[in-house]
Amino acid sequence: MINRLLDYVFSKKVFIRIYMGWFKSKKMNEQDFNNEEIIEEETAESPVNDKRRFDEEGERLKTDEKPEKTKSAEVISLEKQLNEARARYETAETKLVDVQRRFDQAKNNLERETAEMRQRLTKTLEDRAKQGQFNFLTTLLPVLDNLNLAINASEQDSSFEHLLSGVKGTARSFEQALISVGVEPIQAVGAEFNPELHEAVDMIAVEPENDGKITAEYARGYKFGEKLLRPAKVQVGKAMTQQATSNSMKD
């Protein structure tokens, strides 16, 4: 009897445990089902806003990339012409810069060469001038020597002839010094009067055949090459008229 009672109690407990386990599993299934319904409702209420893009190979494209627009043939032609014009402009600008650089370089070289040539010419002219002065001074030394000789001779012999001879020798040596540097004396006495070479100081009555001829020289004139250093100061003959000749014969 007791054994049966224990068996009954034991079986009752087992049944209760089985029932409780079934009940809990049922509650959990209902709760999971409710949760799934809530998730489905929220998913239905929330619209999908997926802006992701994928290419043909399945790779994701960047969101900032935009599909390229197809250009028309006219636009492509205009872009090509623009690029060619830009290239020609850049080439021309490069050539212009190169030409300007070469021009500046040639200008600088020319200015430098001109300055050097000017310096050489100036130095050459200065050397020539100094050489000319040197040569002229060299020719004057004999004149000074003759003057000293004339002075010494006059101290030893005070006669007029010796003094005159010394002065004439000095004048000749000085004239030779002038000739050696290119100075030429102007012919005067017996030559025709030339206003470009002679300066008439006075006039004198002469025969008709001597009219316009120089009869005397007061100061010798000189030329240096084609230039007139000074004109010769002369006396010019003037033929008398027939009436003046008759009056002179009467007197």
pLDDT tens sequence across 49-71: 555 565 566 566 555 555 566 77
Q: Are 94 and 102 in contact (CB under 8 A)?
A: no
Q: Calculate mean pLDDT across residues 102-117.
A: 91
Tell me the pLDDT band of 32, cut-offs 50, 70 and 90.
low
Are residues 191 and 176 located together in one domain of the fold?
Answer: no
Residue 37 lies in a domain: no
Q: Kindly report the pTM of this predicted structure.
A: 0.44
Residue 58 corresponds to which tokens in the numbers above? 């399945």
Query: What's the pLDDT score for residue 180?
Result: 81
Residue 62 lies in a domain: no
Burial letters 120-139, b for 16+ CB under 10 A, else e: eeeeeeeeeeeeeeeeeeeb
**pLDDT in the model for residue 6:** 47
The Cα 44–Cα 57 span in angstroms is 31
Residue 235 confidence (pLDDT) above 90 = yes
Amino acid identity of 37?
Answer: E
Look up the domain containing 93 and give its range. 84-181
> How many domains are contained in the chain?
2
Q: Among 23-37, 110-124, 157-171, 196-210, name the one with the lowest average pLDDT.
A: 23-37
CB 198 within 8 A of CB 232: yes
148, 184 contact by CB (below 8 A): no
Asked if residue 36 has pLDDT above 70, the reply is no
C-beta separation of 211 from 243 below 8 A: no
> What share of the chain in percent tops pLDDT 90?
22
Domain CATH code at residue 148:
3.90.20
More confident residue, 234 or 155: 234
Mark whether 198 and 235 lie in a shared domain.
yes
Regarding whether 188 and 177 lie in a shared domain, the answer is no
Residues 175 and 194 in one domain: no
Please name the amino acid found at residue 136: F
How would you class 193 by CB atoms within 10 Å of its CB: exposed for 0-12, middle for 13-18, buried for 19 or more? buried
Alpha helix stretches (DSSP H) within the chain: 2-45, 73-156, 160-180, 242-250
**Residue 13 within any structural domain of the chain:** no
Which has the closest alpha carbon to 199: 237, 233, 224?
233
Q: Are residues 118 and 156 in the same domain?
A: yes
Q: Is residue 249 part of a domain?
A: no
Q: How does the average pLDDT of the chain come out, rounded?
A: 76
Looking at the DSSP bridge assignments, the partners of residue 222 are 185, 230
Strand order in the sheet with 214-219: 198-206, 232-239, 214-219
Q: Write out the two tokens for 101.
A: 């650089």
> Residue 229: its pLDDT value, please?
86
Q: How far is CA 23 from CA 28, 155, 182, in A?
A: 9, 176, 153
Give CA–CA dist 155/170, Å, rounded. 16
Beta bridge mates, 184: 223
Please tell me the total number of residues recorded for the chain in this structure: 251
Sheet holding 227-230, edge to edge: 183-185, 222-224, 227-230
